[in-house]
Amino acid sequence: MSHPLPSQMRAVDHGAGGDVSCMTLAHAALPSVEPDGVLIRVHAAGVNRPDILQRSGKYPPPADASPFMGLEVAGEVVAVGQQTTRFRVGDMVCALTPGGGYAEYCATPEAHCLPIPSGLTITEAAALAETFFTVWANVFQRARLTAGESILIHGGSSGIGSTAIQLASVFGASNIIVTCGDQAKIDYCLALGANHGINYKTEDFVERVKAITDGRGVDVVLDMVGAPYFQKNLDVCAVEARIAQVAYQHGFKAELNMQALMMKRLTWTGSTLRARPKSAKAEIAASLEREVWPLFSAHLAALRPRVHATFPLADVAKAHRMMEAGEHFGKIVLTVAPGAQVHGQSVS
């Protein structure tokens, strides 16, 4: 369905950055569409930890990216570039974006868009891209988790953790172990498909993992905690294991004894998603569509984004407060009614 496009849209502007009070709902020009890109009328946008960092002034966007937050959306294609070959005006897609998802319209490369899997709502689809791209690239492509192997997932109840549990389960991991901060989060992870949950506040996860694995350790570790876990991750690994580092929320510097890395022949890999070239993200998208997207129809109960809460775009501050409090299970999503008129300039 074709829609006349306005000259302006509403978007969340965080100005120079700061706490949640720095965000306002402002008027902005529609983003331009690159020759290989599409313009999406945003129906919903996922909220992710990098958004909090960007708003706080700790994670500036790339020079060629939108200044607005928002790394994943779902919605309707309303314009396409001259070099696009696949999606057409009227198609519904979910997409990884270089930024700009907290808005009524968002531009992104066509190759970073995927069809919405059958059976998912538009809200669930908005919670797909950032975590599925991240987990697929790091756990399966870089750390090479395969059927029959074991994995330790830190922050199991987070958006990344929830996705990692589901994908590891669907692809046949033999033992999925998670760390969480309370029993409710552990129970949530077990319901998603984890085999064991460890409360990192009351238990030594290294000792628990060794007990669970009869002293062998795990084949893959997915970590976003950082410095406090660097040595422990080395210690908890089995021989020939791989560590996938996707963030360092609690620091990136630590003194390490690297003996375990060498003696166990470990691989420690890390990557960021946003800074990777467009071609690399396009390759991840193509791999996801080929290897993962067909599984949604067969495993929809076990493989779908878990949306903890939704907030209207004007309530973005509430969404950020929830994420910063760390009390959510899975994903937080902003709903964006196309063309909606929001009264007032401040958001809360």
Specify the CATH class of 131-270 in words.
alpha beta
pLDDT of residue 339: 38
Reported as a single tens digit per residue, the pLDDT across 263-301 is 999 999 999 999 899 999 999 999 999 999 999 988 878
Reported as a single tens digit per residue, the pLDDT across 146-203 is 999 999 999 999 999 999 999 999 999 999 999 999 999 999 999 999 999 999 999 9
Q: Distance between CA atoms of 229 and 223, rounded to whole angstroms?
A: 8
Q: What is the CA radius of gyration of the chain?
A: 20
pTM: 0.94
Task: List Cα–Cα distances, 127 to 48, 79, 122, in angstroms.
Answer: 9, 22, 9
- For the residues 64-93, what does the mean pLDDT come to? 97
- For the residues 23-27, what does the mean pLDDT come to? 96
Structure tokens that stand for 346 in this block: 């401040």
Question: Taking the domains of the chain in order of start, what are their residue ranges?
Answer: 8-128+304-335, 131-270
Does the pLDDT at position 17 exceed 50? yes
By the 8 A CB rule, do 60 and 54 touch? yes
By the 8 A CB rule, do 249 and 224 touch? yes
CA atoms within 13 A on the CB side of 348: 4
pLDDT of residue 343: 27
Q: How far apart, in Å, do the first and last CA atoms of the chain sit?
A: 33
Query: Looking only at Cα atoms, what is the longest distance across the chain?
Result: 63
Reported as a single tens digit per residue, the pLDDT across 51-71 is 999 999 998 898 889 999 999
Fold of 8-128+304-335: Quinone Oxidoreductase; Chain A, domain 1 (3.90.180)
8-128+304-335 and 131-270 in the same fold: no
- Any long-range contacts for 286-289 (C-beta under 8 Å, 24+ apart)? 286/111, 287/136, 287/141, 288/114, 288/132, 288/133, 288/136, 289/114, 289/115
